Structure 1
Amino acid sequence: MLDADSGRDLPRDDGRGEAERPTVTVVLPVRNEARNLPHVAERLPPIDELVVVDGGSEDGTIDVARTLWPTATVISQTRSGKGNALACGFEAATGDIIVMIDGDGSTDPAEIPKFVEALLGGADLAKGSRFSQGGGSADITHLRRFGNKGLNWLVNQIFDTGFSDLCYGYNAFWRRNLAWLDLPSTQATEPQWGDGFEIETVINVRAARNGWSIREVGSFEEKRLYGRSNLNAVTDGFRVLRTIGRERREHRASPSGIPASSWR
């Protein structure tokens, strides 16, 4: 059982009485994003580590990534789906803080400092939101907005949470807490639940179930620059709905005494 306070990491003392800032790893899952990566690179602030996770690109994405970021860690995911890509990236990350962004230009890397500051302020999870103060979207459709609102309401009712944007994938958390998310093994050969776009719901709900302090960070979502999205509002929406049901069953089976998540 995770103690909410022990799950927080704060700037360390470097022995000279000065606080040392934690290191930051950005995990960037990509698949055929060669034309989008230069824009991502242009907006990316100084970080300590970049992990690029390729999902079988056929357009030279890996070559572009290595040209833009010669010191980046570039790996291939072990199965398919965004969830598996993120799990592989988390496993390879070495920074104190892990930040999740997308490679299509929709999430703005320039917002990363806001997420880091939320964690430095005591949060365990900095949850990006298009619907909180400072957020917005140039891409979300009426159908996706309606579906997201309904899924938010359902999760908030079941888990006593306060999410305003459950399915948005721009998040940051302390790497020391990664084990508590209990993500599917990257070594499994068969497809696993959590390998797809439901990964955001898995992470957010499990963070809440484990009593993490969660702070929403306003974020603006742009349209994908080039290429076609792999997201399907209907089929992926149903996967999220099934995920909520699975997490609810797990929640009911969990030992009592897990602290409630806190919201700021």
Structure 2
Amino acid sequence: MKKILTYLFVLVLIVIGAMALFFDGISKSAIETYAQQALKTPVRIAEFRSDLSAGKVNIDFVEVRNPEHFKNKNAFVLNHLSLLKSDESTLDLIVLESLEFDGLLFTLEQSNNQVNLVTLLKNLESKSSTSNQSIVEGKSIKTEKQTEARVIIKDLSFINTQLKIDTQWFKDVVDVPDVSIRHFGTPNGIPMSRVGAELMKIALRRIQDEVENKGLRLGEKEIKEGIRRQLEGELEGLKGKLDGKARDWFRKLGL
């Protein structure tokens, strides 16, 4: 009897381990598929690891391909992502204790008067807008916002981020200052479908600052009036009016 119980216990451990591996494999594929649909470009995840009992998720080496008509292979790559879910989470409100992006490398590129990273942001915006609508008798109507889960992130951080600038005027790799945000999405949370776009905006704004700094330091009129203007203009079109700080910056440039 003792041997039988021992064998059963070992079998249970094997089954649990297999289920964990199977779950991680399914989750990895599901995330890749969702990201590809949202960004409208191929996404590859090298490794996905989860600990459901502790609410932890770790993702290693993510590649996001460039949209069509851009020469570089990837728009950005991510070395490591770590996520810790809070016990405060409910079915309607997902609370994360922490979400960290470690080792992002963005490639900023222009092609046919378009900026690759802004193109990805537009795709995310389009995805989030579509998810807030449903089709009834051939007409598009907004769904009730209450039906969509919302997200709060207590500690959001972007660390060890780099920006590769690849344009006809300037080529360089610059370090982007770390970003740390507390209580992202409070008090009510951000709709799940909009989280990706909002995170992308945070990264783009910090990248925009670095482009501005490079342009000003080098005195490159093309950079200031080219990439910077496109980033600023596209973000303005997506988020509405520029804040006072951005407008002051424009005035200083005499634009």
Larger-gyration structure (1/2): 2
Greater RCO (CA < 8 Å, at least 6 residues apart): 1
TM-score by length of 2: 0.29
TM-score by length of 1: 0.29
